[in-house]
């Protein structure tokens, strides 16, 4: 037998066994590392209360099970949450109150809105508009990256953006027969949504929280246009790099670039006197567009009317299901919600809340910032590297995007004062770093929207391996941007 054919057979068997085996060969080192960290936190952490130790143990255990096994993510999150209560790490109310989280209701409403986009015909119309001219997956993915960029300027929620585009992405996935192409699409969309977040001040609640902290503590601010000038070029560069890395990871053969790509990208049209004309919007499409347009307007103006985006989204969902509205029935709307994902999000959010309420996050932050405060007048290159490392890796132990800002921004601003750094620059760089959260599905609600979907999903283990490439690249991109474009435009530590 030829040595090359034997090698190919071995590699094919390894790939097959990796898929079949609940624990991938890539996940095993991480499993061991996370278990070691959990045991260390449980036994050798002086000053950390018992509840904090249990919180770290629970979160680490859930990460191990999500990445290293094939257990359903919702089952793991709920089981670990129950374990926390059994071990007296929290009261049982942690479980009951998990479904009261804003993100749970936001995602429920967003799923119903997404269903209306599909049922009304808007999803199909938008799909065909995107596909016009796309004849390969590479072109399709490029068009998607371009189409996602503007959403950061008028939809102030990563999960909102993800839920809005989900029905369109599902339609696009129906054109792809290759499993790798579908997995690439499922990762690409939320990844680009996250990467484009840095473009706009209103693209994430963490930005607004951070700027408000800056204003209260120093009296300074970062205006909308200034953020745009610094953030938009970086967001575009990060999105393009993400596209290239995902292409390299998932579509690394010619067949994966072309096979099974079925396109009928003609716009719906009627023939009138020998000429093709676009089909006019139906009444259902118009109703859906007007309602969703109103939702987006209310999202953007939350500071004026005072209703949060979850409440606005659920109100719109109820209007869509009202008898006589002609868009969705109650049964259609409720069945559109991914209840498996809702349970996962609720339980995972509760685990994150427990990290904060138990004192685990405060303990971690105090040790990190306390050790850094020993540095006096650090060189600029060291300051930017440390800042990027802290902010980019923060999603590994603080799963909520908003929570990362609430917990870390005060400490980072205090650190900037201690080290004599420019506070607005520290804040902007930190928030851009916190926008990276691609390692675990629980790290971002946008990732969760596409996780464990029946027809469009990705593996948690694949996301982890992808992040081992993207995270260093993102860090390097931040450092390069700082010493080139950002310094040139006035961003100076």
Whether the CB-CB separation of 321 and 330 falls below 8 Å is answered with yes
Integer Rg of the chain from CA = 23
pLDDT(441) > 60: yes
pLDDT at 135: 66
The two three-digit tokens of residue 225, written as one number: 């246009």
Whether the CB-CB separation of 341 and 107 falls below 8 Å is answered with yes
pLDDT at 10: 31
357 found inside a domain? no
Does this model's pTM top 0.85? My answer is: no
Distance CA 473, CA 489 (A): 22
pLDDT at 98: 80
Q: How far is CA 215 from CA 10, 132, 218, in A?
A: 60, 46, 6
Distance CA 110, CA 344 (A): 16
20 found inside a domain? no
pLDDT(159) > 60: yes
Of residues 281 and 28, more confidently modeled: 281
121 found inside a domain? yes
Distance CA 411, CA 361 (A): 12
Angle, in degrees to the nearest 10, between helices 224-250 and 179-195: 160
38 found inside a domain? no
Mean pLDDT of 130-139: 70
pLDDT(479) > 60: yes
pLDDT(5) > 70: no
Quote the number of domains for the chain.
1
Band of pLDDT at residue 144, cut at 50, 70 and 90: confident
Half-sphere exposure (CA, 13 Å, Cβ side) for 224?
5
182 found inside a domain? yes
pLDDT(15) > 80: no
Half-sphere exposure (CA, 13 Å, Cβ side) for 453?
24
Q: For 386-397, write each residue's pLDDT tens digit.
A: 888 888 988 887
Whether the CB-CB separation of 195 and 438 falls below 8 Å is answered with no
By the 10 Å C-beta count (0-12 exposed, 13-18 middle, 19+ buried), 440 is classed as buried
pLDDT at 266: 45
**Nearest Cα residue to 401 out of 204, 214, 215, 142:** 204
pLDDT at 16: 39
Of residues 69 and 220, more confidently modeled: 220
Mean pLDDT of 154-176: 77
The two three-digit tokens of residue 272, written as one number: 């009138």
Q: For 335-356, write each residue's pLDDT tens digit.
A: 878 787 778 778 877 887 787 7
Of the ranges 50-64, 254-268, 430-444, which one carries the lowest mean pLDDT score? 254-268
Band of pLDDT at residue 139, cut at 50, 70 and 90: confident
pLDDT at 2: 42
The two three-digit tokens of residue 113, written as one number: 């809105």
pLDDT at 261: 54
Domain that holds residue 264: 102-336
By the 10 Å C-beta count (0-12 exposed, 13-18 middle, 19+ buried), 169 is classed as buried
448 found inside a domain? no
pLDDT at 288: 82
Q: For 402-423, write each residue's pLDDT tens digit.
A: 667 766 777 777 777 777 788 8
Of residues 453 and 4, more confidently modeled: 453
pLDDT(26) > 60: no
Q: Are strands 275-278 and 269-272 parallel, antiparallel or unpaired?
A: antiparallel
**Nearest Cα residue to 80 out of 102, 93, 65, 68:** 65
By the 10 Å C-beta count (0-12 exposed, 13-18 middle, 19+ buried), 122 is classed as buried
Distance CA 246, CA 134 (A): 18
pLDDT at 24: 42
Phi, psi of 278 (to 5 degrees): -70, 140
Q: For 356-369, write each residue's pLDDT tens digit.
A: 778 776 776 666 66
Mean pLDDT of 444-472: 79
178 found inside a domain? yes
Whether the CB-CB separation of 353 and 46 falls below 8 Å is answered with no
pLDDT at 131: 67
First to last CA, the chain: 62
pLDDT at 107: 74
Distance CA 39, CA 45 (A): 10
396 found inside a domain? no
Of residues 447 and 266, more confidently modeled: 447
């Amino acid at each position: 037998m030829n040595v090359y054919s034997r090698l190919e057979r071995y590699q094919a068997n390894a790939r097959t066994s990796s898929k079949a085996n609940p624990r991938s060969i890539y996940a095993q080192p991480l499993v061991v590392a996370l278990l070691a960290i959990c045991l260390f936190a449980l036994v050798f952490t002086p000053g950390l209360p018992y509840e904090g130790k249990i919180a770290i143990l629970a979160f680490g255990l859930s990460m191990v099970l999500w990445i290293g096994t094939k257990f359903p993510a919702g089952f793991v999150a709920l089981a670990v949450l129950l374990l926390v209560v059994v071990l007296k790490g929290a009261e049982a109310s942690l479980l009951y109150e998990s479904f009261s989280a804003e993100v749970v209701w936001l995602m429920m409403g967003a799923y119903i809105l997404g269903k209306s986009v599909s049922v009304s015909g808007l999803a199909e119309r938008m799909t065909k508009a995107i596909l016009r001219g796309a004849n390969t997956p590479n072109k399709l993915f490029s068009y998607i990256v371009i189409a996602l960029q503007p959403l950061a300027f008028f939809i102030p929620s990563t999960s909102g953006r993800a839920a809005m585009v989900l029905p369109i992405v599902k339609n696009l996935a129906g054109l792809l027969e290759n499993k790798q192409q579908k997995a690439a699409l499922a990762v690409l969309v939320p990844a680009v949504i996250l990467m484009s977040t840095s473009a706009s001040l209103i693209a994430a609640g963490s930005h607004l929280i951070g700027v408000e902290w800056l204003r209260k503590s120093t009296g300074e601010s970062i205006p909308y246009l200034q953020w745009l000038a610094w953030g938009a070029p970086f967001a575009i560069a990060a999105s393009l790099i993400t596209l290239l890395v995902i292409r390299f990871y998932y579509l690394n053969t010619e067949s994966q670039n072309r096979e099974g790509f079925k396109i009928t990208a003609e716009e719906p049209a009627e023939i009138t006197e020998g000429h093709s004309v676009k089909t006019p919007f139906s009444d259902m499409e118009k109703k859906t567009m007007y309602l969703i347009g109103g939702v987006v307007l209310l999202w953007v103006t939350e500071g004026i009317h005072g209703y949060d985006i979850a409440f606005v989204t659920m109100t719109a969902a109820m209007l869509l299901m009202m008898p006589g509205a002609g868009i969705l029935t109650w049964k259609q709307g409720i069945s559109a919600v991914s209840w498996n994902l809702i349970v996962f999000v609720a339980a995972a959010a509760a685990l994150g809340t427990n990290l904060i309420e138990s004192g685990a996050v405060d303990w971690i932050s105090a040790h990190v910032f306390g050790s850094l405060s020993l540095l006096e007048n650090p060189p600029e290159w060291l300051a930017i590297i440390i800042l990027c490392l802290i902010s980019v890796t923060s999603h590994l132990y603080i799963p909520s995007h908003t929570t990362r800002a609430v917990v870390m921004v005060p400490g980072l601003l205090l650190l900037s004062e201690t080290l004599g750094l420019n506070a607005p620059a520290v804040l902007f760089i930190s928030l851009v770093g916190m926008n990276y959260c691609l390692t675990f599905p629980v790290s971002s609600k946008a990732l969760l929207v596409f996780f464990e979907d029946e027809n469009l999903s990705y593996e948690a283990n694949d996301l982890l391996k992808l992040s081992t490439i993207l995270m260093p690249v993102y860090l390097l991109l931040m450092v390069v941007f700082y010493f080139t474009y950002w310094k040139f435009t006035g961003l100076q530590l």
